[in-house]
């Protein structure tokens, strides 16, 4: 829990300094009054589509929960040094501090496109992290390393925080943003990489399979919302007055 709080706090502290040139409003205010309303709008925009998608996610999650013990034991049963090494490395793909470091590298590059991507990455990390933290606390699910009862749910807890998987939501967040920003053919690379992160969390008995599925859904949704909102605000056209004439400017607000 302390690590999650530290990462989220660090994100909120770093974004203003990284994005001072573009920013016209406080970051937390942007997340609360822009990102979350945009998430709500995405859900209510097409009720039928939303119902089908959420129904599919809920149904699949329920099916996985019923089989979590069997699935998790099957994945984590056979350990060897090769798998340990692979999954130890993969684990970094969902680590918030690693993604923050990557975002800082993108923002340090002398290119508006890369700076924008670095800002999106940090914002996506904050949105998925904050949302996931709230759900984790409310769900209060024990990790497979703590119990063999996959139905241990719904007692508000700041220690039992297995559902959803934060590493997986982070991995699928950047795995969605990269192709949307640089080319959709990259999905063939980023999604298998994110799936490896999810497998690592189950292999290391940090999460149930259903935790990783819910985390992936959260990460993908957060990425699309942040990406679409950035593009919309970046292309916002304003008519201003100057020197007796009207002229159009392109505004960007983080």
pLDDT of 195-248, one tens digit each? 999 999 999 999 999 999 999 999 999 999 888 877 766 544 333 444 444 433
For residue 122, pLDDT beyond 90: no
Number of domains within the chain: 1
pLDDT of 67-110, one tens digit each? 999 998 888 777 888 888 999 999 999 988 888 888 888 888 87
Smallest Cα–Cα separation from 128: which of 2, 36, 3, 244? 36
Q: How far apart are CA 63 and CA 61, in angstroms?
A: 5
Smallest Cα–Cα separation from 144: which of 119, 169, 165, 116? 165
Rank 99-103, 155-159, 181-185, 212-216 by mean pLDDT and report only the highest.
212-216
Tokens representing residue 129 in the block: 């992290």
The SS3 assignment for 246 reads strand
The SS3 assignment for 248 reads strand
Q: How far apart are CA 142 and CA 81, in angstroms?
A: 27
For residue 135, pLDDT beyond 50: yes
Q: How far apart are CA 191 and CA 188, in angstroms?
A: 6
As a residue count, the chain comes to: 254
For residue 23, pLDDT beyond 60: no
* Structural domain boundaries enclosing 151: 2-251
Q: Look up the CATH number of the domain holding residue 239.
A: 1.20.144
Cα torsion for 213, 219, 221, 225, to the nearest 10°? 180
pLDDT band, very low/low/confident/very high, at 33 (cuts 50, 70, 90): low
| Residue 13: CB atoms within 10 Å | 10
Q: Which pLDDT does position 4 carry in this prediction? A: 55
Query: What secondary structure letter does DSSP report for 77?
Result: S
Residues with Cβ within 8 Å of residue 56, at least 6 apart in sequence: none
pLDDT band, very low/low/confident/very high, at 191 (cuts 50, 70, 90): very high
pLDDT (average), residues 120-136: 89
| Residue 237: CB atoms within 10 Å | 8
């Amino acid at each position: 829990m302390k690590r999650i709080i530290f990462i989220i706090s660090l994100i909120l502290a770093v974004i203003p300094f990284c994005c001072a040139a573009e920013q016209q409003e406080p970051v937390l205010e942007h997340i609360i009054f822009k990102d979350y309303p945009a998430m709500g709008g995405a859900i209510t925009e097409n009720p039928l589509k939303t119902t089908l998608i959420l129904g599919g996610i809920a149904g699949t999650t329920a099916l996985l929960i019923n089989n979590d013990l069997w699935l998790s034991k099957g994945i984590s049963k056979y350990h060897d040094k090769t798998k340990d090494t692979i999954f130890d490395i993969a684990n970094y793909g969902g680590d918030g501090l690693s993604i923050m470091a990557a975002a800082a590298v993108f923002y340090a590059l002398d290119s508006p496109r890369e700076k924008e991507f670095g800002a999106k990455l940090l914002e996506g990390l904050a949105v998925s992290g904050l949302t996931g933290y709230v759900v984790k606390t409310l769900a209060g699910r024990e990790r497979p390393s703590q119990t063999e009862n996959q139905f241990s749910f719904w007692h508000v807890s700041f220690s039992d925080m297995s559902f959803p998987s934060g590493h997986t939501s982070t991995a699928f967040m950047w795995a969605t943003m990269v192709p949307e920003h640089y080319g959709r053919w990259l999905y063939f690379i980023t999604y298998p990489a994110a799936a490896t992160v999810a497998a690592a969390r189950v292999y290391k008995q940090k999460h149930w399979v259903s935790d990783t599925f819910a985390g992936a859904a959260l990460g993908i949704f957060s990425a699309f919302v942040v990406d679409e909102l950035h593009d919309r605000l970046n292309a916002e056209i304003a008519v201003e007055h100057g020197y007796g004439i009207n002229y159009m400017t392109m505004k960007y607000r983080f």
